[in-house]
Amino acid sequence: MMLGQFRRTRARLVAGGMVLACAFAAGCSEGDPVATDTGGGPGAEVEAIGLMVQDLSNPFFQSMANGVQAAAEELGATVNVQDGRQDLGAQNEQIDAFIQQQIDVLLINAVDSEGIGPAVDRAKEAGIRVVAVDVAARGAEAMVTLDNTAAGEIACTYLADQIGGAGEILLVNGTPISSVQDRVTGCKRALEAYPQIAIVAEQSGDNGRAEALTITTDMLTAHPDVAGVFGINDPTALGATLAAQQAGITDLVIVGVDASPEAVAELQKPDSMFRGTAAQDPNTQGAIALEMARQLFAGEPLEQESVLVPTQMITRDNLAEYEGWQ
């Protein structure tokens, strides 16, 4: 997908009062419209919104919160944003607090896609409509996320091409959430087309820069002759970039996923080993998730229960055309 097409697709996803049609999404679930009977009812209006994210220190989630806040203002609703701090226990407690507060809808960015399931069930039993955003959450009634498999595929295809289709690489993995797992799946699927490339080490971090710095340093010590690194998001990839710099390495190809402001700044450095990132749009994801929750709360059928937002590889070649996060 060209960058202009990516922008037009993103615009269609948020245009027209957020009408969610399969023609405007990169992927969707087939079948009859989805509607359930808990929470709200015909014509009910959302007044109280809960948003839970993995880590508010990550600009990705700040942008997501901005998207939800802007959409909530259009509805005349209030938003309570909670930072999960990458802690499943904290998110369980936050959901229980939301139940006590009697919010109408919950937008959840889970720190553990499976582990959050019982808490999601409690929220639904209390009449709260639940939509997962960015990552799956077991029991959620609908979901909007980046096409993470495609993001992993295009990032690792770019990495493979940049190292000449041969060599050893490192994979900096992350936490047990669907987005991370899908990106790794997409990366490894892409590398099947490059039999002369081998992943010689793979370690899981916490999706943050500091942990990525530590584990990449360890992997580079054990494998000093690698040609590239795939990080499952931009903080991870940027942590890997710093690890390589501190090790005195200058010729790696490092890629990530997000196209965050920090990644854009790094790409603007002509000599940086950070070479590209698969873009996603957290602001749009948040706005779409709220619209889906509003429809559920009002008793309106969804045209699809899962929306995949398309991605595009951002490199120095097309960076000037990239609009960035809102």
Of 238, 263, 279, the one marking the end of a domain is 279
Average pLDDT over residues 218-231: 98
pTM over 0.75: yes
143 and 7 in a common domain: yes
Evaluate whether residue 324 is within a structural domain.
Answer: no
Evaluate whether residue 226 is within a structural domain.
Answer: yes
141 and 87 in a common domain: yes
Residue 35, pLDDT score: 38
- Give the whole-number percent of the chain exceeding pLDDT 90: 85
133 and 37 in a common domain: yes
Residue 4, pLDDT score: 52
Q: How many domains does one find in the chain?
A: 2
11 and 155 in a common domain: no
**CB of 238 within 8 A of CB of 274?**
yes
Strands lying side by side in the sheet with 253-258: 197-204, 167-173, 228-231, 253-258, 274-279, 313-315
131 and 153 in a common domain: no
Cα–Cα distance for residue pair 269/272, rounded to 1 Å: 6
Q: pLDDT digit string (tens) for 76-92?
A: 999 999 999 999 999 99
Q: pLDDT digit string (tens) for 232-254?
A: 999 999 999 999 999 999 999 99
Q: pLDDT digit string (tens) for 190-199?
A: 999 999 999 9
Domain residues for the domain of 249 are 148-279
Average pLDDT over residues 2-9: 50
Evaluate whether residue 123 is within a structural domain.
Answer: yes
168 and 120 in a common domain: no
Cα–Cα distance for residue pair 247/18, rounded to 1 Å: 48
253 and 104 in a common domain: no
60 and 35 in a common domain: yes
Is 95's pLDDT higher than 50? yes
Which has more pLDDT, 258 or 34? Answer: 258
Average pLDDT over residues 115-132: 98
Is 37's pLDDT higher than 70? no
Average pLDDT over residues 36-43: 70
Evaluate whether residue 326 is within a structural domain.
Answer: no
65 and 7 in a common domain: yes
Q: What CATH number should be reported for the domain holding residue 264?
A: 3.40.50.2300
140 and 12 in a common domain: yes
Is 8's pLDDT higher than 90? no
Evaluate whether residue 322 is within a structural domain.
Answer: no
Evaluate whether residue 319 is within a structural domain.
Answer: no
253 and 208 in a common domain: yes
Instruction: Quote the tokens at residue 186.
Output: 């997409």
Evaluate whether residue 142 is within a structural domain.
Answer: yes
293 and 250 in a common domain: no
Under the banding of pLDDT at 50, 70 and 90, the label for residue 326 is confident
Residue 59, pLDDT score: 87
**Burial track 267-296 (b if 16+ CB lie within 10 A, e otherwise):** beeeeebbbbbbbbbbbbbbbbbbbbbbbb
Evaluate whether residue 134 is within a structural domain.
Answer: yes
